[in-house]
Amino acid sequence: MSLVSYEFLAFFAAAAILYYVVPKRVQWILLLAVSFLFYAAGGAVYLLYPMITAVSTWFLALRIGRADSAAQTYIQEQKPDKEQKKAYQARIKKHKKRLMTAGILLNFGILAVLKYTDFLLGNLNVLFHLEEGAIPQISWVLPLGISYYTFQTMGYLIDVFRGRCRPEKNLFRFMLFVTYFPQMVSGPISRFDQLKKELFEEHSFDGTQFTFGLWRILWGFFKKLVIADRIAPAVAMITAAPDVYDGIYVLVGMLGYTLQLYTDFSGCMDIVIGVSQCFGIRLPENFQRPFGAKNLSELWRRWHMTLTGWFREYIFFPVSTSRFCRTVSRFAGKLGLHKVTKKLPVYIANLIVWFVTGIWHGAAWGFILWGLANGIVMMVSQEFTELYRAFHRRFPKTDGSVYGALQKVRTGLLFSGLLMFQYYPFGTVFAMLGNLLARGRLSQLFDGRFAELGLAAADFIVIAIGLVLMLLIGVLQETGSVRQKLAARPLVVRFTAVFLLFVMVLVAGCYGHGYDASQFIYNQF
Amino acid sequence: MDELLEILNDINPDADYETNDHLVDDEILTSFELVMLVTQIRDVFDVSIPSEDIIPENFNSVEAMMSLIGRLKEDE
Amino acid sequence: MRWKKPVCVLLLAAVGVTVIAGLQRLLMPKYMGQVVEGNLTSEYYEETTPHDVVFLGNCEVYENISPIVLWREFGITSYIRGNAQQLIAQSYYILEDTLKYETPGVVVFNVSAMQQFDQNNESYNRMTLDGMRWSASKWNAIRATMMEDEHMMEYIFPILRFHSRFAELEADDLTYFMKSGKVAHNGYYLRADIRPAGDLPVERRRSDYSFDPRSWEYLERIRALCENNGIQLILMKAPSLYPAWYDQWEVQIEEYASEHNLQYINCLEAADEIGIDFSQDTYDGGLHMNVYGAEKLSRYLGPFLLGAGADDHRDDAELAAVWAEKGLFYDSMKAQQEEEFAQFGYLKQFTTEE
């Protein structure tokens, strides 16, 4: 069930009504039932996958919790001396680690098999110089949202291991955490200690929150239907045919792809978070005006934040502080590479994170290269940090807003440019970039190729209005919630603003007959 | 305390570490810097900070860092 | 001041609904250009007098029969409730819909729709169904014939279907904003241009000549509905050369008719008797009759209809007045098209400029 379908709207309306009609203590049970229904709409069999993940993780987390309480009892009752205590704790930790590792291997194993088998087979094919298709592809059907719920659930398991949150005893409550329908399909990736309070609390109907939720959904529909889906066909044409669309079109495709990606995914998040808000359940934000960032790593801290946060917490920090990294950097120190030793752990961890980020986004070399390229750019810019700082000290005027704006533009272009690795064939990215720089002319926009993209004058007007509106909202957001500001205005103003947005979506949205129902880009993960 | 300030100034000299208590939230210390900080704290203070303790609350201010170091030393 | 807020809310809601309703009307196609068939269904509701005969079917009825001739020469009051590719299920529900307003003595169903139960072009569905007044019959008609990618919501709120026309609005959308113009003559689509029948696509052999069971089911439902309402049902096959009407189909219909004691008139076989000249009486090379063919066919059908129970109403003053007006509209359109065709060799409205 697509989030932008009549079915989903009807489903959501029915769920919302029921949610506030049933006794408050069963609200979470209703959400669980509704989530199961939502998932089963795409084929009941596929519920099996999240169920395996939920049950196995629930069970292992409970065992970890039990080991913890056993240790506590032991310390309280036996009053061991320091040495004994340490030895006992080490043993318990080892046991807990085994349980956690089992859960991680099982669940990431399922994800890996389903998502990467074909990629692996394809590479084996190439590696052994076999004919295309000599090793047949398996083409597993990827269960909806598997990348999201697996990450969310594994985060929980690690948190329980670390003692950051207590294991959930009730299997069904835990299942709701795994399958909560607004977020299951494309995130945000929540943490149990934050979401549990929201999910299992009793929620009374709150008119303001509900209205805010609906406004946010509408805004998400606007981004997705009016902008993302409008430019999608043209973007697909440009990015799929680099030999036809060269020169200035490399830039057009680059910006279009980025705009589509952003409006599609952040629009989806607006719908998801808005729907959840209508249930009184706050989900973590996934975007924070990413194109207001002044450098790439800042942009990535504001883009798909729950995923990057996950990687930071569960991969970057553990790897960079691991014994392995310590050994490597000590080894580098012995070789006399003193300058590197300090940074080596960071860089090793950084490359691993970006490799994983790449492959998370798609089982293809393009995605892996894209991820690594991001990581490398960030490392290089880290190397230049001191230079930048010296530069700013020497020229204090560069802290001004003009320079800041330039930095934002540069960062946005860098981010967009790196995305070329995602859609251009391996090895042609630099050639296309060179082509743009050497041959790009503005006049190429009027050489007839643009007309073939299927965008009419009306489309450009709509896109322009959309961009202006998004910019406006972005600026307003800098000084606090736009919805709160709107809510403080008189009824007529409120109505007019929301109604106009609604009419924009209704009339200028790309939906219904004549439009291919395009799924959210981030659904396929 | 002075040793810690020295490390911090070495990592990013553009901040007032003695008054600021939003070092992580203000993105003065990002994940890169945090890891370098953790590595150097280990070398200087001889205490290893486990990755689960690399959370904003522990690094937002110099006091927080000192108390984290103190707590970890005690546990050793 | 307590009343102020609710009044404000109501007022704004009213404004909102009005604006959206206006937009919806603006964005819906007006069908006043090359394609006018989208207006056929809704014109029925403007009728002020009852009809003895109602024709049901697809283009084989609404392009081939002239109710004006039936009136002038036999005094028969009739209406054609047919549409482009009107499916048999749609014919059934449109008959149900008709019975809400009147009970004709005779219903003539054109059997060519038996051969294809499912819709293959969404815009035909819209042209047939959008004009229907809301009722259980409309709902059921949509349910029965909706294509896979169609949604009931888009029939309830047509703006959801036609919103993308905002980029291609034309003068007609304003001209006919309040009301579409009248395009048909009691459901008859008049064409006075001539294009002789030429080479038609070769008939293809089929592996299976049996009709879809669902077609039979709806034929049965039409028959039962007529029977229960005391209506005489007549089956007919119009004299269209293409799409082909196979002998195997003919046999099945003949069997059904005799089994249920129904009259079945195959006008295709009787084309010579009717006097149809395929070099003169068709406007699109044999698929459909032009006004000359339609008038001939009407003269042929008249006696059958009288025999089935239709009456001669020519001495009813009220009806005569109503039909006289219809006749004027008919004659003026026919004359205007004849003149245009004589002058240019084509009709401007129905041809695309190169």
- C13-42: pLDDT as tens digits: 999 999 999 999 999 999 998 889 999 999
Q: Which residues pair with C106 in a beta bridge?
A: C53, C232
User: Hey, are the CB atoms on A317 and B34 less than 8 Å from each other?
Assistant: yes
For chain A, give the mean pLDDT.
88
Please, what is the Cα angle at A290 between A289 and A296, to 5 degrees? 155
Nearest to A269 by CA among A305, A296, A299: A305
Per-residue pLDDT at A240: 87
Q: What gap in Å lies between CA A305 and CA A313, rounded to an integer?
A: 12
Residue A235 to residue A237: CA distance in whole angstroms? 5
Please state the rounded mean pLDDT for residues A446-471.
88
Position C354 scores a pLDDT of: 60
Tell me if A312 and B27 make a contact (CB, 8 A cut-off). no
CATH of residue B39's domain is 1.10.1200.10
User: Which of C16, C153, C166 shows the shortest C-beta gap to A507?
Assistant: C166
Q: What residue numbers bound the domain in which B42 lies? A: 2-75
Q: Are A416 and A255 in contact (CB under 8 A)?
A: yes
Closest residue, chain A, to B12 (C-alpha) = A386
* Overall pTM surpassing 0.80 (yes/no): yes
End-to-end CA, chain B: 20
Q: Give the per-residue pLDDT at C1.
A: 59
Q: Do C164 and A512 touch (CB under 8 A)?
A: yes
Extract the tokens encoding C22. Answer: 């206006």
**Residue among A164, A318, A382 minimizing CB distance to B32:** A382
Question: Residue C233's beta-bridge partner residues?
Answer: C107
Average pLDDT on A8-28 reads 95
- What was the pLDDT predicted at A133? 67
Confidence (pLDDT) at A520 = 52
Average pLDDT over residues A345-365: 90
**Best of A2, A507, A510, A511 to mutate (most C CBs within 10 Å, chain C):** A507
Q: How far apart are CA C107 and CA C56, in angstroms?
A: 7
Q: Considering CB atoms only, which of A458, A492, A512 is closest to C160?
A: A512
Q: In angstroms, rounded to a whole number, what is the distance separating the alpha carbons of residues C349 and C351? A: 6
Out of A458, A459, A499, the one facing C16 most closely (by C-beta) is A499
User: Into how many domains does chain B fold?
Assistant: 1
Note the pLDDT tens digit of each residue in C115-162.
Answer: 999 998 899 999 999 999 999 999 999 999 999 889 999 999 999 999
Per-residue pLDDT tens over the stretch C80-111: 999 999 999 999 999 999 999 999 999 999 99
Q: Which residues of A touch C12 (CB under 8 A)?
A: 491-492, 495
DSSP code string of C248-265: HHHHHHHHHHHHTT-EEE
Q: What is the DSSP string of A168-179?
A: P--HHHHHHHHH
What is the tens place of the pLDDT at every residue in A383-409? Answer: 887 777 777 777 776 667 888 888 899
Query: Tell me: the pLDDT tens digits for C216-253?
Result: 999 999 999 999 999 999 999 998 887 788 889 999 99
Chains C and B touch (3+ CB pairs under 8 A): no
Interval C326-348: pLDDT, tens = 999 999 999 999 999 999 888 88
Q: How confident is the model at residue A524 (pLDDT cuts 50, 70, 90)?
A: very low
Q: Report the residue of chain B nearest A309, measured CA to CA.
A: B31
Per-position DSSP letters for C296-344, written without gaps between them:
HHHHHHHHHHHHHT----TT-HHHHHHHHHHHHHHHHHHHHHHHHHHHH
Q: Give me chain C's average pLDDT, please.
A: 92
The pLDDT of residue C2 is: 72
Q: Are C61 and C105 in contact (CB under 8 A)?
A: no
> Predicted confidence band at A522 (pLDDT cuts at 50, 70, 90)?
low
CB B52 within 8 A of CB B43: no
Residues of C in contact with A507 (CB under 8 A): 23, 27, 159, 163, 166
Q: What is the pLDDT of residue C81?
A: 96
CB neighbour list of residue C302: distance below 8 Å, 6 or more residues apart? C69, C70, C73, C74, C76
Token pair for C300: 């042929």
Of C269, C262, C333, residue with least CA distance to C300: C269
The more confident residue out of A120 and A15 is A15
Looking at residue C285, its pLDDT comes to 83
Rounded CA gap, A145 and A525, in Å?
6
Number of Cα atoms under 13 Å in the Cβ half of residue A168: 26
pLDDT over threshold 90, residue A449: no
What value does the mean pLDDT take over residues C185-205? 84
Q: Which residues of A touch chain B, with CB atoms under 8 Å apart?
A: 162-164, 297-298, 301, 312-313, 316-318, 320-321, 326, 329, 342-343, 345-346, 349-350, 382, 389
pLDDT of residue A525: 47
Tens digit of each residue's pLDDT (9 = 90 or more) over A212-248 = 999 999 999 999 999 999 999 889 888 888 888 888 8
Structure tokens at A54: 């939920």
Contacts of A317 in chain B (CB under 8 A): 31, 34-35, 51, 54
> Cβ B39–A329 below 8 Å, yes or no?
yes
Give the pLDDT band of residue A121 (cuts 50, 70, 90). confident
Which ipTM did the prediction report? 0.89
Interatomic CA distance for residues C148 and C217, integer angstroms: 21
For an interface test with A, give the residue of B9, B32, B37, B57 to mutate (most A CBs within 10 A).
B32
pLDDT score recorded for residue C353: 67
CB contact under 8 A, A389 and B14: yes
Nearest CB among A163, A312, A321 relative to B38 is that of: A321
Q: Which domains does chain C have, with CATH numbers?
A: 36-154+179-198+208-348 (3.40.50.1110)
Asked if residues B59 and B37 have their Cβ atoms less than 8 Å apart, the reply is yes
